[in-house]
Structures are given as C-alpha cells and as structure tokens.
Chains A and B, each alone.
Chain A
Amino acid sequence: DSGVTQTPKHLITATGQRVTLRCSPRSGDLSVYWYQQSLDQGLQFLIQYYNGEERAKGNILERFSAQQFPDLHSELNLSSLELGDSALYFCASSPFDRNTDTQYFGPGTRLTVL
C-alpha cells in the first residue's frame, strides 16, 4: 500500500459526459501528479500540482482540467468524454518538487467510456 488513495476504482460512463476523479496523496506529500495509461499511448504524464499550484503540464487535453485543494487532495475533471478517453488514470504523490523524488502511485481509476 503506497498511501495514495484514488476514488472511484472503476467508472463507466457515456460519450459526452463529464466525470471527476479524486486523489488523496500520502500524508505530508506536497506534489500530486496525474498520469494516463492506455494501450496505444502507454503511460503519459498529464499534469502536476505542488502545494496547490500548477507546476507542470504534459499531454493534457483542453477538455481535461485538474486542481489541488488546500488539504492537498486533487481532482481530475474530464469532460465531453470520447471513446478514446477510456484508460487507467493514475495519481501519484511525492514529498516535494525535485526530480530526485520518488513518486508513489495510487491504485488507479479505470475509466470506460461507452
């Protein structure tokens, strides 16, 4: 158990809908990261927050947005969903904002868009 929690574990929805994925980092960790894992694109970095502020952005679609709240939990919002958004979404956390930090991953949310 990494100490990172994600809810829900599974999500099934329809095209055009909007969903929210939630992540609670390890106690004391200030950075939260979101990754997408799909069969065709592998593991891709989406976005990082550090202590409530956006720190880095990767291949995140404009239909997707995220935020980190004062209690350091984070939410990833996915809207106007398409079939191709079906994937496993991982949250990770790390103590600070250093490239030497280990990132600890949650169990993931499996999103299925029908």
Chain B
Amino acid sequence: GDSVTQMEGPVTLSEEAFLTINCTYTATGYPSLFWYVQYPGEGLQLLLKATKADDKGSNKGFEATYRKETTSFHLEKGSVQVSDSAVYFCALTPLGYNKLIFGAGTRLAVHP
C-alpha cells in the first residue's frame, strides 16, 4: 500500500544551521505531496505542498521538490531559527483518494 518514510529524529541544530529532513514515499501513480508542521500543543499547519512531478513547494524559507525518479520530497531550509522548533510531517494523498497518509514525524529542536 501507499506509505511515507521520513528520517527519524530528533534533529538538533544550532540557530542559522542548514536543515534537511528526508522523506521518501511509495505510491502508485502521481500522489500529491505535503509537509505539515505541528508546534507544541497545537494542530497541524500546512507548510508547503507539490501536486506534480518537479514542482517545488516553498513557504517561510522552507522548500521541497517533488522528485518522481527518486520518489522523494525532502524538506530544506537554509538557516533555521529557534522558532522553527516543532514536529514536521511528510504526507501524501494518493491519486483518486483524499486521505492523508503521514510519515512518523521528525522532531526538530533548534538551539540559540
């Protein structure tokens, strides 16, 4: 079945460091891909999305490119801030269905 695998955390970085969180997926056809972020005690917020191959989603300095050939959607940010500390979820919606299938989540902690 369709699934999402993302790197295990926690990821601990110093402020202004470069961030990469790896995400790969298994799906038939062309799913839509998403990154959601969950701040402590809150619900999930959409960070960015891409709906077709080679699309790049971007928001608040975060970027991810839909790579069909490697079935990946890695999240990157050039310079993280303490306020970026949260849990990041990679997810997909399979073609023909709207249910979000989530990865396990990656906790990011950024220290000053």
Contacts and interface: CB of A to CB of B under 8 A. Distances in A.
Interface of A: 2, 4, 31, 33, 35, 42-45, 48, 55-56, 58, 90, 92, 94, 97-108
Contacts of B51: 100
A33 B43 contact: no
B99 A58 contact: yes
A65 B75 CA distance: 36
Given A99-B97, A103-B100, 13 more contacts: A31-B98, A33-B99, A42-B105, A44-B102, A45-B100, A90-B43, A99-B95, A100-B51, A100-B93, A102-B34, A102-B46, A107-B43, A108-B43
B96 interface: yes
A101 B91 CA distance: 13
Contacts of A99: 31-32, 93-98
Interface residues of B, number: 26
Given A33-B100, A43-B102, A102 B49 contact: yes
Contact of A106 (B43, B89, B91, B98): B43
A90 B38 CA distance: 12
Contacts of B103: 42
A92 B91 CA distance: 14
B101 interface: yes
Top 3 nearest A-B pairs by Cβ distance? Answer: A99-B93, A45-B99, A43-B102
Best-buried of A44, A92, A103 by chain B (most CB within 10 Å): A103
A105 B44 CA distance: 6
